[in-house]
């Protein structure tokens, strides 16, 4: 057999071999796919595990006998009749007037101060000075402009006569 003849034989044999292998594997592929999609039957249950420990007794969950306790000017908490707190503290950023602004003082959200004749409320915790573009402060009441000077008023009635003064000295 010549080299050309052998080459022709192999060229004809390879596609036939590929077709034979594909035909042989196709039923196997179909069987595997059928097994994968088939519903499984449940197995036998395993043995029961050990019993767990009992948990701590819980509270009754009612609010009977509860009260509200003030912690500071802005903070309150709910308290059971036995004195234990229910949850965390409740804090409200309500405006509280702190007087005239003082530099380097720590103000918290809700504090209000007077500065430059206006009333300012802190929007967040800050030590910054109100006004001049400070975003931590909200202008609440703007100072009005100075009014004109009023007319002189009428003279009042004469006052009561005063006590007699001490006698003077004679320096002649």
Q: In sequence order, what are the residues at sequence separation of 6 or more whose Cβ sits closer than 8 angstroms to the Cβ of residue 86?
A: 63, 66, 77, 78, 79, 80
Give SS3 for 142.
coil
d(CA 138, CA 91) in angstroms, rounded, equals 20
Question: Predicted confidence band at 5 (pLDDT cuts at 50, 70, 90)?
Answer: low
* Domain chopping of the chain, boundaries: 1-35, 63-92, 96-141
pLDDT tens digits, 81-111: 888 888 889 988 889 999 999 999 999 999 9
Give yes or no for a contact between 159 and 137, defined as CB atoms under 8 angstroms apart: no
d(CA 137, CA 109) in angstroms, rounded, equals 9
Query: Which helix H or strand E contains 97, and what residues bound it?
Result: strand 96-100
pLDDT tens digits, 28-83: 667 666 666 767 778 888 899 999 999 888 766 677 788 899 998 889 999 988 88
d(CA 130, CA 140) in angstroms, rounded, equals 11
What pLDDT was estimated at residue 21?
66
d(CA 63, CA 78) in angstroms, rounded, equals 10
Q: Is the pLDDT of residue 22 over 70?
A: no
Q: Is the pLDDT of residue 126 over 90?
A: yes
What pLDDT was estimated at residue 42?
81
What pLDDT was estimated at residue 169?
79
d(CA 137, CA 118) in angstroms, rounded, equals 12
Q: In sequence order, what are the residues at sequence separation of 6 or more whose Cβ sits closer than 8 angstroms to the Cβ of residue 9?
A: 1
Query: Which helix H or strand E contains 18, and what residues bound it?
Result: helix 3-37
Q: How far is CA 102 from CA 94, 139, 162, in A?
A: 20, 17, 46
Looking at domain 96-141, its CATH architecture is Ribbon (2.10)
Backbone φ and ψ of 62, nearest 5°: -90, 165
């Amino acid at each position: 057999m010549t080299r050309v003849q052998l080459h022709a034989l192999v060229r004809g044999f390879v596609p036939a071999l590929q077709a034979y292998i594909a035909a042989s594997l196709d039923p196997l592929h179909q069987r595997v796919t059928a097994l994968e999609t088939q519903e499984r039957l449940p197995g036998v249950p395993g043995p029961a595990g050990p019993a767990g420990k009992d948990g701590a007794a819980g509270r009754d969950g009612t609010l009977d006998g509860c009260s509200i306790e003030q912690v500071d000017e802005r903070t309150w908490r709910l308290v059971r009749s036995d004195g234990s707190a229910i949850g965390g503290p409740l804090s409200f950023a309500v405006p509280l007037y702190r007087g005239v602004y003082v530099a380097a003082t720590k103000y918290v959200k809700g504090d209000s101060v007077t500065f430059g004749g206006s009333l300012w409320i802190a929007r967040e915790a800050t030590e910054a000075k109100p006004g001049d573009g400070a975003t931590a402060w909200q202008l609440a009441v703007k100072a009005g402009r100075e009014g004109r000077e009023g007319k002189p008023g009428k003279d009042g009635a004469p006052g009561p006569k005063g006590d007699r003064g001490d006698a003077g000295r004679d320096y002649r």
